[in-house]
Structure 1
Amino acid sequence: MMSTPASSLITKDGAVVGVKASGPDGKDYTLYASKGVILATGGFSANVKMRNQYDEIWDKKLDNQVKTTNMPAITGDGINMAVKAGAGLKDMGYIQLLPTTDPATGATNHKIVESTNIYVNKQGNRFVNEQGRRDVLAKAALAQPDHVFYVIGTEQTLLKDKEGRGPYGILISDLLKQKKAFKADTLDELAKKLGMNPDNLKRTVAKWNEFCKTQKGDEFGRMSCEEGNKLPGGPYYASVMTPSVHHTMGGVTIDEDTRVLDKNGRPIRGLYAAGEITGGIHGTNRVGCNAVPDALIFGTIAGREVGK
């Protein structure tokens, strides 16, 4: 049932037996479950109030200025409904930011070079080991002026297809027109377009190129410069970036059979959950190669358990 948001879980004698919802025409629905209810509503990355209520990492600074990579509907509704039904929560304070996103929208689709290319702030200086964990990169980026930085690449390292489209299928020429990316033949010209000190930028790139030759002595402790990270010469490109909320590691507590547990660790009869709505799966820092199978495998288990 599309465009029919659930508002609450129906409980009877300590068990969850259904869901109340409202349709797009304003009509209310009461939906009863014959075997159980599975919550798969995602996290709360788009809920600013919940982000700052539970945050234990970002000093309660995840306000409206910090965007999200998620769709606007990811507002923690399933978590809040489960709590009202008695569910326990785990790891709610662990919120992940993706460091390389669009400052205007939080989207990731304007990427045109490798995310491990050098990060340069508004002053033209590197500020972090670009191969670090997402939380480390995001914290370093938030410490930069206006939370903004640029990922620098060249024509030789550009990620584009034969039609001139970037990794997300958007024409790089369109990204240049929208000023989500910038192109220049020289570093002086690029610095001018980005409003940064050209001497700083040229010094930064020179030091980086020297590290790429020797693979030793990087000032931020980076271990390697891969082929796609090298800056052999112009034309140069820069993508403007900022961190945005990407994933919430916390959520309702479940057991190995995806049964939602109450605050005392006891299963709530008739209630199951899978995916980002659950907590305790990823620790403090989720990665995609874990989160995708998390949703798929626990979703399969939930379906199997309810179908028994």
Structure 2
Amino acid sequence: MQREVDVVVVGGGLAGLSAANRVAQDGLRVLVLEKGSEEAYLCNSRYTGGLFHIAMDDMAGEPDWVRANLERVTNGTCEPALAEALTAHARRALRWLSSLGVRFIKAGPDGLRRNALSPPGVRQTGLNWQGRAGDVMLRTLGESLQRMGGQLMRGVEARQLIMRDGRCAGVQAVAASGDSLDISAGAVVIADGGFQGNPELVRRFICEHPERVLQRNAQTGRGMGLLMAEAVGAKLVGTENFYGHLQHRNAMADGALWPYPVVDSLATAGLVIDGTGKRFCDEGLGGVYVTNAVAKLDDPLSAVIVFDDATWQGPGKDWLLPANPYLLSAGGSLVTAPTLAELAGRLGLDAGQFDRTIADYNRLVASGERAGQPPRSTGVYRAWPVQRGPFHAIEICAGITYTMGGIATDAGGRVLDADDRPIAGLYAAGACTGGLEGSGGAAGYSGGLSKSAVFGMLTGESIAASLRAH
């Protein structure tokens, strides 16, 4: 089957539907290809709890202040042009989504919850997305696209980019029926999410044992768009990092224990050890950092958080759906003992090494003495000593929500090659792209919804300007 449109978008999540709606507003013929065949096709945008933020704070704040937050969480490693574009257009993106019918409410007093989707996500453990937050948002954007003459074609997977004389001129796709489609277009937008659901790509870029990492996501992000772009010379950046949270280890088999509650607040207050009973990372750098560090262990399912009852009654009750009490009510468990020696035994760890690790950690907290162990930052998260029983531990796993790296683009969504030159006709937006969250161990979470909405909108505007010029 042959089709010809002005713009073809690969992926029907927030980034893809934002780009499609924006070009449709300019009267361009746009077709969105979505691999999922169901009306409520699954993707991370549909699962979202709906908090639009940048760096866990108000994305509608004064742009320089928002930019400073982003620079702080990424330790200054985010691509400057992308950071500037995100923060300069964040307020406008929220207003634009509202103009399409997406509804926002203030779900809490802090910046994290100041711009939340309505109806809000349910504050319960496990998955609760139907008729809430992201589900309603995607339905709203799909209806908006249809009103403007755009089309969303479900059950169709893009497989290869069509290149003519160095320019991307369309995609080759396959329908669920097995029929092949060749779609010619003036511009192609890749917006099919991250590659977290592709074990081969996770092994290639992130960790040796993807099967021992929890898929804390819709499992639809397979990285096909990244592979298609790489095949035509696109540059990839920041692919070693992902956004995710620490979960109880039983979440690997028990759906009631993910995506919430997470146990990050206990990890950033106490200490995290591996199967040898030793610390291996700086817990004070935050839950996303620690989650990445756990995933990169020789055995990602060997990690344990250790803390005492003061921490359980303090930071354990912090954050949304805190571990205390939601972990226990969801069916998770603490490993508890009156002494550290007994706790080591219940964890199957060498008691001598375990005792040395706790003693060294307590000295680090009290005096800053490193004693050959990793540092412990305290700029954001206070380090709590492990002093008085009962003592607790949580056996954990690393939950990957989406990959933060991917296709390199400029601020207008144009895909860049190895020499940072735009590949004509090819664009990308959302979780399939990289650079915004930085690179290396310093990478930090910017916010998946803000990234997808802002750059989906900007990519649409960039395409509309380019096609009008030609």
- TM-score, normalised via structure 2 length: 0.50
Match of 1:82 among 229, 240, 265: 229
Shift of 1:279: 3.9
Match of 1:267 among 415, 422, 439: 422
Contact 1:142 1:243 survives alignment (8 Å) = no
Question: Superposed, which structure 2 residues align to 1:202-221 within 5 Å?
Answer: 202-212=355-365, 214-219=366-371, 220=373, 221=375
Change (3 A) 1:25 1:274: same
Aligned-partner Cα distance in 2 for 1:280–1:22: 30
Aligned-partner Cα distance in 2 for 1:174–1:128: 28
Contact 1:184 1:234 survives alignment (8 Å) = yes
Moved more, 72-81 or 120-129: 120-129
Moved more, 74-83 or 184-193: 184-193
Match of 1:251 in 2: 406
Contact 2:189 2:428 survives alignment (8 Å) = yes
Match of 1:72 in 2: 219
Aligned-partner Cα distance in 2 for 1:169–1:41: 36
Shift of 1:251: 3.1
Match of 1:118 among 258, 271, 292: 271
Aligned-partner Cα distance in 1 for 2:295–2:405: 23
Match of 1:306 in 2: 463
Moved more, 183-192 or 148-157: 183-192
Match of 2:240 in 1: 95
Moved more, 228-237 or 38-47: 228-237
Question: Superposed, which structure 2 residues align to 1:19-34 within 5 Å?
Answer: 19-26=171-178, 33=185
Match of 2:396 in 1: 241
Tell me if 1:131 matches 2:279. no
Give secondary structure in 2 for the equivalent of 1:114.
helix
Contact 1:96 1:247 survives alignment (8 Å) = no
Shift of 1:6: 2.4
Change (3 A) 1:237 1:24: farther
Aligned-partner Cα distance in 1 for 2:449–2:285: 21
Deviations 1:147-193 (A, max 9, x none): 6121112333235569xx5359944244435xxx4233443442232
Change (3 A) 1:291 1:72: closer
Give secondary structure in 1 for the equivalent of 2:192.
coil
Match of 2:304 in 1: 150
Aligned-partner Cα distance in 2 for 1:101–1:176: 10
Shift of 1:78: 0.3
Contact 1:88 1:264 survives alignment (8 Å) = no
Change (3 A) 1:276 1:87: farther
Which amino acid is 2:332 matched to? L
Deviations 1:282-305 (A, max 9, x none): 233431037665444322210211
Count of aligned pairs between the two proteins: 295
Deviations 1:263-292 (A, max 9, x none): 565433332112332344423343103766
Please, which runs of 5 or more residues in structure 2 have no aligned partner? Answer: 1-33, 38-154, 466-470
Match of 1:36 in 2: 187
Shift of 1:77: 0.1
Aligned-partner Cα distance in 2 for 1:211–1:284: 25
Give secondary structure in 1 for the equivalent of 2:283.
coil
Change (3 A) 1:232 1:81: same
Shift of 1:132: 5.2
Give secondary structure in 2 for the equivalent of 1:37.
strand
Aligned-partner Cα distance in 2 for 1:296–1:37: 17
Tell me if 1:278 matches 2:433. yes
Tell me if 1:193 matches 2:346. yes
Which amino acid is 1:48 matched to? P
Contact 1:141 1:243 survives alignment (8 Å) = no
Aligned-partner Cα distance in 1 for 2:367–2:173: 58
Contact 1:260 1:271 survives alignment (8 Å) = yes
Shift of 1:123: 4.5
Give secondary structure in 1 for the equivalent of 2:430.
coil
Alignment RMSD:
4.2
Moved more, 265-274 or 199-208: 199-208
Aligned-partner Cα distance in 2 for 1:280–1:305: 19
Aligned-partner Cα distance in 1 for 2:444–2:368: 28
Please, which runs of 5 or more residues in structure 1 have no aligned partner? Answer: none
Shift of 1:118: 0.8
Contact 2:285 2:377 survives alignment (8 Å) = no
Which amino acid is 1:81 matched to? M
Give secondary structure in 2 for the equivalent of 1:301.
helix
Aligned-partner Cα distance in 1 for 2:278–2:419: 51
Change (3 A) 1:123 1:62: closer
Which amino acid is 2:240 matched to? I
Question: Superposed, which structure 2 residues align to 1:152-171 within 5 Å?
Answer: 152-158=306-312, 159=315, 166=322, 170-171=326-327
Which amino acid is 1:9 matched to? L
